[in-house]
Amino acid sequence: MKIGIIGLGYVGLVTSAVLADQGHLVVGVDVDSKRVEGLSCGRNPIYEPGLDELLAKNKDRLQFTTDYAKLSDVDVAFISVSTPTVNGEIYLEYVMSASKSLAKVLRKDSLIVMKSTVLPGTSRKVREITGREVVSNPEFLKEGSAIKDSINPDRVVIGSYTKEAGDVVESIWKFTGAPIVRTTPEEAEMIKYAANSFLAMKVSFINEIANLCERIPNCDVNKIAEGIGLDKRISPHFLKAGLGWGGSCFPKDTLAISTFARSLGTPLRTVDASIQVNNERPKRAVTLLKEIMGQLKGRKVCVLGVAFKADTDDTRESVALKVIDILKEEGAQVVAYDPKAKANVTMVSMEQCIDESEGVIIATEWNHFKGIEDKLRGKYVVDGRRLLDPSKMDLTKFRAIGLGTPSIQGE
């Protein structure tokens, strides 16, 4: 097929590369002319493992442009633009703007596929605006493993008004061999929000258990997570205690569905509680550091990791950056290191970051930070991502998320 992709962020760019690799001709459209120019010259604007290679391999089947007219002969157009939250509510203007532009250029028999995360009822509005058939086909990609998640997804959700339109989308993703879930568009849109909200709740749940474990002798949240995760009804996934969730999905999606639910008079109390727990995580890291280090004013602290998670350069809603802000409010001098991401903070090498600082907070789960116990000798350390071996640390100067405090360990 000839496929259009509107919006060349993480989802759009990965989808473009994966579908081109399946032999489709792909036209990617974005309003950011610099991004389009860079992609046209072979420069990938984001870090995602394997993406550079996949884009280069399929460059002859990929075209990038700012001109919607280039979509006039596509069979299918995927909308994958951003849907941020503004004042707690989903902002759909990018979706609506793309829809109006598509209405002017698409063939009448072209199909529109909603890949962006949108509230139930949005695909119906796009169908009304464009006069074309619309299918909701939500993505379930994780940054850092987005290509793998596209090629080998757990499931493919297809919400359509007609069987024929759904069949077209099913044929596109048939190569994955994944289970196909056929629904209405509203159900497909809801599945995306329900999935992200549930996963976010699991993270917040284990983080609250971690808080409790920190106050109990001989108690490690990692063992608690292992013990409950072996229950098939629970599973071990997303039971990793740490500093909470960030990024481009969980923060905005939980907030958007919570606001939407309240507008319908049906508040999602468990989701609201999960958001509250997550909002407290950055302060937790600083509190643990103060327990062992005392006042932070005028003292230098190293933050290892600024990306919201490992294997990405994305800093959107990064917990690490929130930790840095709180440290600065406490009067600390902050330096940071990240293998890929950049931020508005003094960035130095990992060795310099550690050597020049009295205190260290590990804020992102990069493999680079495993096995560095010797480098941290003599420092006050908070392991916010449970990457270090506590047995190799000076427990009078060490705290870890979900690990009983040294003052009561062994009593």
Decide if 213 is catalytic. Answer: no
Burial class (CB in 10 A: 0-12, 13-18, 19+), 314: buried
Q: Is residue 161 assigned to a domain?
A: no
Residue 154 lies in a domain: no
pLDDT, block means (10 residues), the chain with 411 residues: 96 97 98 96 92 96 97 97 92 97 97 97 97 97 93 97 98 97 98 97 97 94 97 96 93 95 97 97 97 96 96 93 97 96 92 97 96 97 97 94 68 44
Shared domain for 210 and 356, answered yes or no, is yes
Q: What is the CATH number of the domain that holds 57?
A: 3.40.50.720
Residues 198 and 97 in one domain: no
Residue for token pair 């086909």: 137
Catalytic residue among 41, 213, 219, 249: 249
How far is Cα 201 from Cα 213, in angstroms, rounded to an integer? 18
Q: Which runs of E-coded beta strand occur in 66-110?
A: 76-79, 85-86, 89-90
Nearest alpha-carbon partner for 256 in 95, 389, 396: 95
Is residue 166 included in any domain, yes or no?
A: no
Q: In whole angstroms, give the CA distance from residue 395 to residue 288.
A: 13
Is 180 contained in some domain?
no
Residues 390 and 244 in one domain: yes
pLDDT at position 410 is 45
Whether residue 286 is found in the same domain as residue 341? yes
Enumerate the known binding-site residues. Answer: 30, 35, 83, 117, 140-143, 192, 238-242, 246, 252, 309, 316
Q: Is residue 152 part of a domain?
A: no
140 and 199 assigned to the same domain: no
The number of beta carbons lying within 10 Å of the beta carbon of residue 237 is: 9
Could you give the CA distance from residue 110 to residue 345 in angstroms, rounded to a whole number?
47
Domain boundary among 114, 147, 180: 147
**Same domain, yes or no, for 205 and 89?**
no
My answer on whether 326 and 199 are in the same domain is yes
Structure tokens at 247: 């990024």
Structural domains of the chain, count: 2
Residue at a domain's end among 87, 115, 147: 147
Burial 377-402 (b: 16+ CB within 10 A, else e): eebbbbbbbbbbebeebebebbbbbb
Contact 137, 182 (CB under 8 A): no
Same-domain pairing of 115 and 212: no
Residue positions forming the annotated binding site for NAD(+) = 30, 35, 83, 117, 143, 252, 316
Q: Look at residues 92, 124, 147 and tell me which one is the last residue of a structural domain.
A: 147
Structure tokens at 48: 């995602």
Q: Verify that 233 and 321 share a domain, yes or no.
A: yes
Q: Is the pTM of this model over 0.85?
A: yes
User: Are 334 and 263 found together in one domain?
Assistant: yes
Q: DSSP letter string over 337-366?
A: E-SS---SSEE--HHHHHHT-SEEEE-S--
Residues placed in the known binding site for substrate: 140-143, 192, 238-242, 246, 309
Residue 327 falls inside a structural domain: yes
The answer as to whether 64 is a domain residue is: yes
Per the domain annotation, does 178 fall within a domain? no
Element at 327 (helix H, strand E)? helix 319-329
Q: What domain range includes position 93?
A: 2-147
Domain identity same for 62 and 198:
no
Q: Are 51 and 312 in contact (CB under 8 A)?
A: no
- Rounded to an integer, what distance in angstroms lies between the CA atom of residue 372 and that of residue 278? 27
380 and 259 housed in the same domain? yes
